[in-house]
Structure 1
Amino acid sequence: MAHPGDKFPIVTERLNHWFGMGEARKQAIFDVSLEIDAGKLTILVGPSGSGKTTLLTLIGCLRDVQNGSAQLLGQELNNASEAELTASRQKLGFIFQAHNLHESLTALQNVRMGLEVHARQSPSKKADTYNVAAAHLLNLVGLGDRQKYLPSNLSGGQKQRVAVARALVGNPLVVFADEPTAALDKESGRNVVALLRRLGQERGTTTVMVTHDNRILEMADRIVTLEEGRIVDDKRFDT
């Protein structure tokens, strides 16, 4: 059965955004119209200040849409209610450059939080199920032997991989990633991107990633280039 947004889970039409007020008001996004393909890895590139992260936060329900249209999984985000935005966020996974782990929780417990915030199962059933799912994701990112480690006992790259596992453990329909490989060495970074690609191929997970990491660009299904808030190039690749 088809669902809204199956082919293009993200669609923007003439999307604009401003920061500041009065004379300090400055436009950051100009007339961006974009259709993001389902199950693909789309990478946003461009110089600092080009609007990449602003666009990511707009289509990811992290910033209010001011002008134009942004549709996420069939839900219009412009003037959406808080309940509608919350429902949309529960279908998403987020990976940021800062890992934002809870220092008092183990790696396994941090990953479990990706499930617990949505409370998808009854308390009597969730504990064992959540542990199994969290352990599985930690294995996928190469940290199966670090499940009981606190963040203070993990390297920067290991912390980021825990954050990746936390974002993916709930099987999100869309993953938004902002510089997810910045703290990783080349091999670890490519492994993370390969995992995101595999999720797209096997589960239909759509990934939109902002990066300055030229080492992973060849793994993209599509590269969209922004300059000064405008799309100036859009390349799709046969993969």
Structure 2
Amino acid sequence: MQVGGNDPPISVLGLDHWFGTGDGRKQAIWDVNLTVAKGSLTVLMGPSGSGKTTVLTLMGCLREVQKGSVRLLGAELNGASAAQAVALRRRLGFIFQAHNLHESLTATQNVLMGLEVHGRGCAAQQRRAAHHALSLVGLADRFDYLPSNLSGGQKQRVAVARALVSNPEIVFADEPTAALDRDSGRNVVEMLKALGRVRGTTTVMVTHDNRVLELADRIVTLEEGRIVNDDGAGPAAR
């Protein structure tokens, strides 16, 4: 796995992808080329089945690259070992439409799971970081609540806090506002955009939520596994 220090955080070249085997093998991604600038908020849009989530998971080390090049944080993913992919994922944050919280753990304990893989700081420092992340998403009064006592939107905000608590270099978000009301959803996306300005955090987000598009630096539209439009200067950059 080759690493380059001056590379953009994400660079995709000639990416193809298939699902299935044998006679059932079907191509889902066709010759995708995309370079994402550091600190930017890039939105992937398109109808259901257009390939946007597949592209997101390929860039985020969640699927094996079959053909083409995906360079993530200077490292080539095509041919990377499982151990190398795990090491890279520790530098990333993930937010999914399904919050994937552990029902037996409190909000604080769920967020702490975002720090355990890093082993950063003592227990007291980690707890303070978890509480800070929860406060940022408006859950300062829900630290010790179990998921069963949280609304759907509150659960999603816990998932956002878990993704951000380790200060990831890149955040991959798949429909992060789907379970949130207008104001909460906008607040989450504004927070991701602010992280780009303040910390240089790069965000790639799949969404159907037209309410947050004006915050994007760039909007990339996919149809049938191909990029059909790339608005390199999204509404926020105009």
With the shorter chain as reference, the TM-score category is over 0.9
Q: Does 1:109 align with 2:105?
A: no
CA displacement 1:76-116 (0-9 Å, x = unmatched): 00010112111100000000000001111111111111001
RMSD of aligned Cα (Å)? 1.2
Query: Which of 199, 203, 215 in structure 1 is aligned with 2:195?
Result: 199
Contact 1:68 1:78 in 2 (8 A): yes
Q: Per-residue deviation at 1:117?
A: 2.0
Distance 1:137 1:43, change over 3 A: same
Q: Per-residue deviation at 1:4?
A: 3.5
The letter of the residue matching 1:179 is E
Distance 1:195 1:103, change over 3 A: same
Contact 2:7 2:73 in 1 (8 A): no
Contact 1:7 1:38 in 2 (8 A): no
The letter of the residue matching 2:100 is N
User: Tell me, what secondary structure is at the counterpart of 1:53?
Assistant: helix
TM-score of the superposition, structure 2-length normalised?
A: 0.95
Q: How does 1:1-239 map to 2 (within 5 A)?
A: 4=4, 8-121=8-121, 126-235=122-231, 236-237=233-234, 238=237
List alignment gaps of at least 5 residues for structure 1. none
The letter of the residue matching 2:147 is P
How many residue pairs are counted as aligned between the two chains?
233
CA distance in 1, matches of 2:7, 2:155: 34
Q: Per-residue deviation at 1:22?
A: 1.5
Question: Structure 1 stretches (4+) deviating beyond 4 angstroms?
Answer: none
User: Tell me, what secondary structure is at the counterpart of 1:170?
Assistant: coil
CA displacement 1:38-64 (0-9 Å, x = unmatched): 101000000000000000000000000
Q: Per-residue deviation at 1:120?
A: 2.7
TM-score of the superposition, structure 1-length normalised?
A: 0.95
Percent identical among aligned pairs is 69
